Amino acid sequence: MTGAQALVAVPQSNGSPKAYTSNIANAGTQLAESNISYPHSKLSATHTNGEVTIYASLNLPIGTTSLVHLWQDGPMSGTAPQAHAMSSANQQSKESLDLTSGVTQQGSGGGSLSRRRNTHGILNAVSWGVLMPLGAVIARYLKVFKSADPAWFYLHVTCQTAAYIVGVAGWGTGLKLGSDSVGVTYSTHRALGITLFCLGTLQVFALLLRPNKDHKIRIYWNFYHWAIGYATIIISIINIFKGFNALEVSAGDRYDNWKHAYTGIIAALGGIAVLLEAYTWIIVIKRKKSENKFSQGMNGTNGANGYGSRPQQV
């Protein structure tokens, strides 16, 4: 686990395990020997009857009453330890130790973290990853249909507002997860999340400051709204997959079904957008042709000189 202060024991050719400490800085750790946060002494290890036992005395910060204890074992490649398995048993190999009573609680804290992680993922996938693109599809294609005016606008605003509110809640859970996971850092995922919050907030202010259709700066507002909106959608989809990658690092393949489901939803929205793009262009082209014919018919009836289509009598 990233951020863990590990006591490690590896077998040696003489049969006695070597004990050392390792500060796990990332999920791809090779468990290289390094200092840990806690001063320690009397570090040793024994290998008896197929079991390895590590002994050490740790000096914990004043006021520490409990700690989370994790343990793992894994294969060796020569003298280098390799990654442990990601089975259910490995996922649950942790306990909370009450230092005042000596009582342990199996798996304590893991369930809460998992629930918060799931909540964070669901809120953000639904808001930034589904509602936001859906709102863009509504705005781009429904407004082509005259019968959908002004309903498309209110649907668009409702969809984007709901996406922003739920997305902010998901963003907040992410910040809380980050603060509670000391030593666990997903820099790109975090930076993209903050960027999304800023872009979403800009869109909210843009809605409040929207000029009238005939205002001279409306064209600039339209471009701003379009650019920020599509940038938000692209970044949100990228960041959701960054989140899935983070889950794979911390929880293995347990969330593959989530990833596949979201991929299917985005693919479906993309397919619908492609079909609507073609269909609405056909409607627009037919409408323009019809308007041109009507305009030419009016000119033929009224005459270019304003006296009608009949020739003038002299």
Residue 254 sits in a domain whose CATH number is 1.20.120.1770
What percent of the chain shows pLDDT beyond 70?
A: 83
Q: Is 189 annotated as contributing to ligand binding?
A: yes
**Same structural domain for residues 124 and 272?**
yes
Structural domain harbouring 273: 112-291
Q: Is 215 annotated as contributing to ligand binding?
A: no
Instruction: Answer with the residue of higher pLDDT: 151 or 110.
Output: 151
The most distant pair of C-alpha atoms in the chain lies apart, rounded to whole Å, by 125
Task: Specify the pLDDT at position 198.
Answer: 95
**Same structural domain for residues 219 and 98?**
no
Q: Examine the pLDDT at 194 and tell me if it is beyond 50.
A: yes
- Please give the backbone phi and psi of residue 306, each rounded to the nearest 5 degrees, phi first: 90, -5
Q: pTM value?
A: 0.62
Helix intervals (H) in 75-150: 88-91, 110-126, 132-141
**Same structural domain for residues 68 and 191?**
no
> Omega into 211 within 30° of 0, i.e. cis?
no
**Same structural domain for residues 282 and 150?**
yes
Q: Examine the pLDDT at 247 and tell me if it is beyond 90.
A: no
Q: Examine the pLDDT at 66 and tell me if it is beyond 90.
A: no
| Model pLDDT for residues 195-244, shown as the tens digit of each residue | 999 999 999 888 888 888 888 999 999 999 999 999 999 999 999 999 98
**Same structural domain for residues 57 and 154?**
no
Domain boundary among 65, 89, 106: 106
Q: Examine the pLDDT at 312 and tell me if it is beyond 50.
A: no
Q: Is 120 annotated as contributing to ligand binding?
A: yes
> What domain count does the chain have?
2
The verdict on residue 303 lying in a domain is no
| Model pLDDT for residues 77-94, shown as the tens digit of each residue | 777 777 777 665 666 677
Residue 81: CB atoms within 10 Å: 21
- Please give the backbone phi and psi of residue 48, each rounded to the nearest 5 degrees, phi first: -135, 130
**Same structural domain for residues 53 and 188?**
no
Instruction: Answer with the residue of higher pLDDT: 72 or 53.
Output: 53
**Same structural domain for residues 279 and 242?**
yes
What percent of the chain shows pLDDT beyond 90?
A: 35
Q: Is 156 annotated as contributing to ligand binding?
A: yes
Integer CA distances (angstroms), 11 to 36, 40, 50, 237, in order: 21, 21, 11, 45
**Same structural domain for residues 40 and 136?**
no
**Same structural domain for residues 133 and 231?**
yes
**Same structural domain for residues 164 and 270?**
yes
Task: Specify the pLDDT at position 302.
Answer: 54
